[in-house]
Structure 1
Amino acid sequence: MRAPKEQTGRVTGRRIAGSVAGVAALAGLAGLAWAARGVPAALGGRLAGARAERAARSPQFHDGTFHNRASTRTAPVPDSNLFREMIFGKQQRRPTGAVPLVRPTPAPDVDRARELNLVWYGHASTLIEIEGRRVLLDPVWSDRCSPSDAVGPRRLHEPPVRLDELPQLDAILISHDHYDHLDMATVRELTARQSAPFLVPLGVGAHLDRWGVPAHRVIELDWSQTHRVADLEITCTAAQHFSGRGLRRNGTLWSSWVVAGRQRKVYYTGDSGYFDGYAEIGAAHGPFDATLVQIGAYDRAWPGIHMFPEEAVAAHLDLRGGLFVPVHWATFNLALHDWSEPVDRLWAEAKARDVRLAVPRPGERVVVDDPPPVDGWWQAVA
């Protein structure tokens, strides 16, 4: 007995629908697999063996993880307004036009003993040209700051130079292991193209090991420890932040850095909330010719781990800084504020507190002894 045509049609329809759903599911799985390619390696390594034993001896390490000096909330404070802003907020979180880039020219020919220039490449990635030496901070050249090259925060502008256009480096400094400061692809390319050592906070070397950086090129330091590179003394100093590249937090240390030559000296905050450690660092290592200070990705929901611009100025003064050069803005969209709000607030506060300020375009060299005037270049694309 044959099934009625209507019933046959329903069966056929269900089969087609099932096939379509199956294809969609397979496509979804394929998409997830594509997005997840390379993710396990990007997550990095874990503390083990001698590295774990050394971490356990650190004053910053107890109960199996690293800690700030003061109790600090590192997860966002639950706030209904925060979620409302995420969904319905009208913030201008991307520039309206192209962020202007500058192709760096050769460093000016000056007395090597007095040389001090800064080239900001975007976000926190900065080249310090100091007394003939070259130190690169937190290099991130990838399109996204994420374990995946398919999802995650994407750059608002291209890097102003390629990695193969960088000068020969003397040291590469990493402040902590978050993806916007430590990038696997960039590390691997720098390992192949450069011979400079990587100076990192305790535990971060586990990531570099997994990515193929030779052990002799990895220098791990605790807060207040110094390592000499050529004519420079590079000191790992405190910060108030956290770490983690996966589900586990604070398995590696975070830091700020002091880069000191015979006559010139620079301080880099890394990522940090405002804390009394800045006054201590200023007393122990200052004054500084220049400070590179994080100004973006702040929010009232996480006040202890990223400084507001006004706090950044206070930190600069605590540090006894000379020229203030802002970093950690304009490149990745990592918070809810307007993309240009950090530098607008910074400029106003610097004027109010009589702080010397330079705000370079990505790739623009700042000669610390003769910085360019602040011209509000970002406002044209805000």
Structure 2
Amino acid sequence: MARARSTDVERSLGRRMRGVAGLAALAGLAWVARDVPAALGGRLSGARAERAARSPQFREGTFHNRAGTRTMIAEPGRNLLRELIFGKQKRRPTAPVPLLRPGAGTADTADELNIVWYGHASTLIEIEGRRVLLDPVWSDRCSPSGLVGPRRLHEPPVRLDELPPLDAILISHDHYDHLDMATVRALLVGQSAPFLVPLGVGAHLDRWGVPAERIIELDWSESHRVAGLEITATAAQHFSGRGLRRDGTLWSSWVVAGVRRRVFYTGDSGYFDGYAEIGAEHGPFDVTLMQIGAYDRAWPTIHMFPEEAVSAHLDLRGGLFVPVHWATFNLALHDWSEPVDRLWAEAKARDVRLAVPRPGERVVVDEPPAVDGWWQAIA
């Protein structure tokens, strides 16, 4: 009888606990459901929509690349979903990604040019005593939800509140792995730098509470001066969208120019003849930050293969090549280390100066560390 009573109590307690857990789960889902619409961002309206409509890149209600592109190309006999689930690719490292904590920058601010790569595309440019942050994403997932979507393969090497004072924050486009609502909101509290974004992206920032005076929207070839730097939005070959609607905002690459030093950042882009034009107009560059990961033959016009990134670097008249957009999120079907392995081989074949930092490692552009293949031990 005692055991029967005990069993009844256990069952009753179990039902209550399941009920509490169910309520907690529902509360969590309700919170996520409430937050997801905000993470999707804003829509163009009013003066912002009117300005977008005047852009040479805007027609028939959306932004366009200069050349015709397709975000996905069907390949007979290939099933991407099956490959994603059952493919044999080694899409994760076998051990923790080594992280470093950058110390203070150099004291010689007149000619200073350093790069600190935090992972994926998030990168700090230290140029002539100024600091420019690119595409900051500190969330655990690049997704509108904290429960689903690509999850980090390594932690950020520093916390957001440990970043030094910034002079500008640049966003290349509005995809979740480049524009993160939680990170943007955190930067509102700890930083006062303006956000420089392509046309239309300001609608997202506006919805997330960024003050209008901190939002600077640029079309391709437009520039803005901040803290003695000239920052120019330049062309890219990609697409945009955070919900069902595609291409309602513009995408761009960026040129960051000081008095003596120049940096180019691709954002996301396929290989196109615009790189040679940018190199002729804005180059040569001391360093280029080039997208090398998340490519596939199913989307060849919107992301570069590593060999194409080397060609783009040469078109740009680049000096040092620093790869970005790899190692942090699984966004394609290739092996985790394949992008940088292919890059290293191509850079050696074409005599391109290369630095491959660990996340958090500072690269002094004039004295870059030798490539040591650190990733191969954990691939």
TM tier, smaller: over 0.9
Amino acid at match of 1:90: K
Alignment partner of 1:267 is 2:264: yes
What's the TM-score once normalised by structure 1's chain length?
0.91
1:164 maps to which residue? 161
Alignment match, 1:58: 55
Matches within 5 A, 1:133-148: 133-148=130-145
> Residues 307-364 of structure 1, C-alpha deviation per residue, up to 9 Å, x if partnerless?
0000000000000000000000000000000111000000000000000000000000
Distance 1:145 1:368 in 2: 29
> How many Å apart are 1:281 and its aligned residue?
0.3
The answer to whether the aligner puts 1:293 opposite 2:320 as a matched pair is no
Output one character per residue of 1:56-96: Cα deviation in whole Å (capped at 9) or x when no partner.
00000000000000010013535542333222211011110
Q: Distance in 2 between matches of 1:29 and 1:247?
A: 25
Residues 234-289 of structure 1: CA distance to partner in whole angstroms, max 9, x if unpaired? 00000000000000000000000000000000000000000000000000000000
Q: How does 1:64-213 map to 2 (within 5 A)?
A: 64-77=61-74, 79-81=76-78, 82-110=80-108, 112-213=109-210
Matched position secondary structure for 1:40: helix
| Displacement of 1:33 | 4.0
* Number of residue pairs matched by the alignment: 360
Q: Percent identity?
A: 84
| Structure 2 residue matching 1:114: 3-state secondary structure | coil
Give the aligned partner of residue 6 of structure 1.
Answer: none
Rounded to whole Å, the distance in 2 between the matches of 1:228 and 1:52 is 24
Work out the CA distance in 2 between the residues paired with 1:30 and 1:166.
33
Q: Contact (CA 8 Å) 1:197, 1:218: kept in 2 or not? A: yes
* Partner residue of 1:358 out of 319, 330, 355: 355
| CA contact 1:114–1:263 (8 Å) conserved in 2 | yes
> 2:343 aligned with 1:346, yes or no?
yes
Name the CA distance, whole Å, in 2 between partners of 1:254 and 1:365.
27
Specify whether residues 104 and 79 from structure 1 end up closer, same or farther in structure 2 by C-alpha distance, changes over 3 A only: farther
Shift of 1:213: 0.3
Question: Does the alignment pair 1:308 with 2:322?
Answer: no
How many angstroms apart in 2 are the aligned matches of 1:192 and 1:104?
Answer: 22
Aligned ranges 1:317-356 → 2 under 5 Å: 317-356=314-353
Deviations 1:180-229 (A, max 9, x none): 00000000010111000000000000000000000000000000000000
Counterpart of 2:201 in structure 1: which amino acid? Answer: V
| Cα deviations by residue, 1:127-184 (Å, 9 ceiling, x for unpaired) | 0000000000000000000000111000000000001110100000000000000000
Q: 1:289-314 CA deviation, whole Å, 9 max, x = no partner? A: 00000000000000011000000000
Q: Which residue of 1 aligns with 2:10?
A: none
Structure 2 segments unaligned to the other structure (5+ residues): 1-14
Deviates more, 1:30-39 or 1:186-195: 30-39
Aligned position for 1:381: 378
Structure 2 residue matching 1:350: 3-state secondary structure: helix
Aligned to 1:8: none
CA contact (8 A) 1:293 1:325 kept: yes
Secondary structure, counterpart of 1:118 in structure 2: strand
Report the 3-state secondary structure (helix = DSSP H, G, I; strand = E; otherwise coil) of the residue aligned with 1:38: helix
- With normalisation by structure 2, the TM-score equals 0.92
Distance 1:247 1:54, change over 3 A: same
Shift of 1:35: 4.6
CA distance in 2, matches of 1:225, 1:262: 18
Please state how far the C-alpha of 1:230 moved relative to its aligned partner: 1.5
Q: 2:314, 2:302 → 1: CA distance?
A: 19
- AA of the residue aligned to 2:82: R
Change in 2 beyond 3 A, CA 1:148/1:79: farther
Secondary structure of 1:164 counterpart: helix
Given that residues 73 and 304 in structure 1 are in contact (C-alpha distance below 8 angstroms), is that contact kept between their aligned partners in structure 2? yes
Question: Which residue type is aligned with residue 101 of structure 2?
Answer: R
Q: Amino acid of the residue matched to residue 48 of structure 2? A: R
What secondary structure does 1:157 align onto? coil
State whether residues 77 and 302 of structure 1, in contact with CA within 8 Å, keep that contact through their aligned partners in structure 2.
no
1: CA distance, partners of 2:295 / 2:284: 26
Instruction: Name the structure 2 match of 1:16.
Output: none
Alpha-carbon distance in structure 1 between the residues aligned to 2:317 and 2:231: 18
Q: Secondary structure at 1:41's aligned position in 2?
A: helix
